[in-house]
């Protein structure tokens, strides 16, 4: 969203808060895609994201008359979406804390739980995505190292692997951010 | 929440917005209802308080629902007319006042003077608004209804006194504002 669009939504939401019904369509047309995208990125589940975005939008309009012009309209709107996403996540976490005995009985002893399997699959997918962004030679070096098929005692391979790992870190930080 | 089409979502959103505005508009009643209670405490007839009160409540709520500027106008109108509600009733309790040989009923001048105060107050606020006329109309109607609760103590003449006062209070402010703009 560029500066002009932000200024426009600030103006429209301020007008709607005062009672200008003519601003409603514009506010809806701008904020609905914004909330939906935010929820999709936050929840990574289209159905849950749609549900959270719809609820957030309803709450936003319910409180639209309370919007104060000195607040940032986009941040104010996204706060509703963030709250709904957190609620959805907490609800899902609550369900995980109450495991279904029948489902648990189907998990073989020592096998990863469905949550662990999902996390592993997610990480695997993210790693493949990052590898795909690297130069083919770097990706090939990393795959060889992961597969344990590195040539023993090769200084050239060690150097190449070191450079490939550095590039991998940079690419990971660029895509997923860092904890710093 | 069931998955909705964009059209359904837009309609539901609009409904949620109107519900939210209604909740905000009901704040006008926090001023209107105590004023009606005060009118009852000043011994104004129940029928009058209920009739005018219902009109004032519906008008105040409806206008506040429509736009924030009308909510402010109604608040200003009701507040400006508090003297018009109280003074004539208080003077009525004093009865006829004798000034020398003449007997003066202070109620009718009180309705006029409190009307002037209310008219000047709402007009002074209206000239600062972007939508002057609509603001002034909403405020003056709210002031008229609130003032009528007290001014009817002397019958129709009291209401006429109030209306004359509102006009007399409004006129100088409007003229001054027009001269300043001109």
B9 contact residues in A (CB cutoff 8 A): 28, 32, 54, 57
Q: Which of A18, A51, A66 sits opposite B1 (nearest CB)?
A: A51
Q: Where are the domains of chain B?
A: 6-181
Q: Which of A25, A50, A59 sits opposite B3 (nearest CB)?
A: A50
Plot region of A19 (φ>0 → left; ψ -120 to 50 → alpha; else → beta): left
Q: Where are the domains of chain A?
A: 3-97, 108-176
- Taking all residues of chain A, what is their mean pLDDT, rounded to a whole number? 84
B68 contact residues in A (CB cutoff 8 A): 17-19, 65
B13 contact residues in A (CB cutoff 8 A): 24, 28, 57-58, 61
The CATH class of the A3-97 domain is mainly alpha
Mean pLDDT of B74-85: 94
User: pLDDT by residue (tens digit) across B122-152?
Assistant: 999 998 888 989 999 999 999 999 999 998 8
- Of A16, A61, A24, nearest in space to B16 by CA: A61
Across the interface, do A32 and B23 touch by the CB < 8 Å criterion? no
User: pLDDT by residue (tens digit) across B155-172?
Assistant: 888 899 999 999 999 998
Out of A65-69, A129-133, B66-70, B169-173, least confident range: A129-133
Across the interface, do A65 and B3 touch by the CB < 8 Å criterion? no
Question: ipTM above 0.85?
Answer: no
Across the interface, do B13 and A18 touch by the CB < 8 Å criterion? no
Task: Round to whole Å and give the CA distance between A150 and B63.
Answer: 79
């Amino acid at each position: 969203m560029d500066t002009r669009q932000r200024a426009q939504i600030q103006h429209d939401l301020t007008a709607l808060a005062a009672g200008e019904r003519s601003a409603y369509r514009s506010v809806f047309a701008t904020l609905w895609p914004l909330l939906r995208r935010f929820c999709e990125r936050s929840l990574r589940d289209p159905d849950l994201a749609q549900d959270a975005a719809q609820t957030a939008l309803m709450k936003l309009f319910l409180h639209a008359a309370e919007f104060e012009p000195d607040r940032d309209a986009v941040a104010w709107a996204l706060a509703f979406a963030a709250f709904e996403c957190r609620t959805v996540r907490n609800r899902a976490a609550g369900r995980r804390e109450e495991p279904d005995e029948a489902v648990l009985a189907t998990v073989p002893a020592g096998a990863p739980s469905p949550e662990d399997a999902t996390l592993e699959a997610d990480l695997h997918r993210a790693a493949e995505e990052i590898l795909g962004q690297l130069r083919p030679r770097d990706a090939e070096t990393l795959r060889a190292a992961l597969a344990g098929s590195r040539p023993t005692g090769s200084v050239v391979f060690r150097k190449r692997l070191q450079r490939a790992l550095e590039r991998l870190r940079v690419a990971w930080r660029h895509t997923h951010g860092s904890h710093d | 929440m069931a998955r909705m089409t964009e059209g359904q979502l837009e309609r539901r959103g609009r409904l949620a917005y109107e519900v939210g505005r209604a909740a905000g508009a009901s704040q006008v009643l926090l001023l209107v209802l105590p004023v009606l209670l005060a009118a009852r405490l000043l011994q104004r007839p129940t029928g009058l308080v209920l009739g005018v009160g219902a009109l004032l409540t519906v008008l105040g709520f409806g206008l506040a629902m429509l736009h924030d500027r009308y909510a402010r106008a109604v608040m200003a109108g009701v507040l400006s007319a508090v003297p018009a509600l109280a003074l004539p009733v208080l003077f009525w309790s004093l009865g006829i006042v004798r000034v020398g040989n003449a007997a003066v009923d202070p109620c009718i001048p009180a309705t006029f003077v409190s009307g002037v105060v209310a008219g000047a107050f709402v007009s002074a606020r209206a000239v600062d608004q972007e939508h002057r006329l609509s603001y002034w109309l909403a405020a003056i109607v709210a002031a008229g209804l609130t003032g009528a609760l007290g001014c009817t103590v002397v019958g129709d003449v009291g209401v006429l006194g109030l209306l004359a006062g509102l006009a007399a209070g409004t006129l100088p402010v409007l003229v001054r504002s027009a001269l300043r703009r001109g």
